[in-house]
Amino acid sequence: MTDAFHPPLRTLMGPGPSDVPPQVLEALGRPTIGHLDPQFVALMDDIKRLLQFVFQTQNELTLPISAPGSAGMEAAFVNLIEPGDTVIVCQNGVFGGRMKENVERCGATAVMVQDAWGEAVSIDKVRAAFAEHNNVKALAFVHAETSTGARSDAQTLAEIARENNALVIMDTVTGLAGIPVEVDAWGIDCAYSGTQKCLSCTPGIAPITFSKKAQDVIANRTTKVQSWFLDMQLIMGYWGGNTKRAYHHTAPVNAMYALHESLRLVEAEGLANSFARHALNHRALVAGLEAMGLSMAVSEDIRLPQLNAVNIPEGVDDAAVRSALLSKFDLEIGAGLGALAGKTWRIGLMGFSSKGVNVRKCLLALETVLNEMGADITSGAAIPAAEAIYANQ
């Protein structure tokens, strides 16, 4: 007989998942009820309300997709984009490239706006792309690029799209609840996220929201949505506001308990407090890393507080450091992706993982491992530098 699986207790400071609070883990173990049970339907309504709160929107079509953030991305494109459409896609990391794939699989044309990895999306390049192309259906961009730790100016990008009568599709998988996300105020037509980042829920659910304009586009499509499972017109029969729900799929009931609990915790803390906590721990971590002699890969004005890209020192073995952190300290940090593979580490401070004890552990563990490997760093300076930030908060 196969033994039961008992995972080790890790400190998750990579690009996701983040640490999950005990209240959320406890919620997973509550009794399972039916996905059409009146009590579960009432829970669905409160989940929708809480998602509207974290997205800062009144959009009626706001719900959690029963699949990870990548399905949120696909749901955005398959519902809003049809064959023959033109979409301006901004790429400054991995996930803009995935947006391009989705556009092309919808039979549409992707006009690419390319920026260096670790840079923000260029406002000027986006303006130029609209000037060069007529009848653009949508502008798609990543608000908080998980692969690089860079933040783009979502509000200005959305303004440019609206000036050109284009829809706005925004990936905020890493942004939601870690930095401001203002769907209604910014005029975002579709935003999607993931539960495993700053919401500190278990992986596997994709919050998404569609504006009234986007809903009208979906309702007036001339072709069927290519994905039956992700067709919003079908899903709303289940997630809509009516008391009578039409069966679409069996929702992951216990995962929805966990999502509700994680959203409840965000609401209890308050968004402004969450943003301030992420920013404080980010400043302390950066101060410690720089005092150690390491440098950040993203300029200060566009850094994500919840995802810190750190340049790997010359001659240091990326994989060996991460392996030692995991085996000796049960600490997970992330590797660089794509153009930054082997050049950066990605240190996450997301949601429940964003706390002073984790900042201190990460700095001590990284200093220990780098010293053992003979790296050229300054020993003993990281913790005092971080403590100075906390003392002056």
pLDDT, one tens digit per residue, over 64-115 is: 999 999 999 999 999 999 999 999 999 999 999 999 999 999 999 999 999 9
**Coil, helix or strand for 161?**
helix
What are the φ and ψ backbone dihedral angles of 140, each rounded to 5 degrees?
-125, 135
- Given a cut of 90, whether residue 393 has pLDDT beyond it is no
Mean of the per-residue pLDDT values of the chain: 97
CATH level 3 topology of 23-268: Aspartate Aminotransferase; domain 2 (3.40.640)
- Given a cut of 80, whether residue 378 has pLDDT beyond it is yes
- The pLDDT confidence band at residue 239, using thresholds 50, 70 and 90, is confident
- Given a cut of 70, whether residue 293 has pLDDT beyond it is yes
What value, to the nearest 5°, has the Cα angle with vertex 205 and ends 200 and 210? 110
Domains of the chain, residue spans: 23-268, 271-391
CA pair distance 48, 53, nearest whole angstrom: 9
CB-count burial class (<10 Å; 0-12, 13-18, 19+) for 270: exposed
Residue 190 DSSP code: E
Question: Residue 360 corresponds to which amino acid?
Answer: R
Joined tokens for residue 2: 């196969």
Strands 307-311 and 86-91: unpaired
Joined tokens for residue 158: 């959305």
- The pLDDT confidence band at residue 339, using thresholds 50, 70 and 90, is confident
- Given a cut of 80, whether residue 338 has pLDDT beyond it is yes
Query: Can you give the pLDDT at residue 128?
Result: 98
The arithmetic mean of pLDDT across residues 235-258, rounded, is 87
Alpha helices in the chain (DSSP H): 22-28, 38-55, 69-80, 94-105, 123-132, 154-163, 183-186, 212-219, 232-239, 253-269, 271-292, 318-329, 356-372, 382-391
Is 271-391 a CATH 3.90.1150.10 domain?
yes
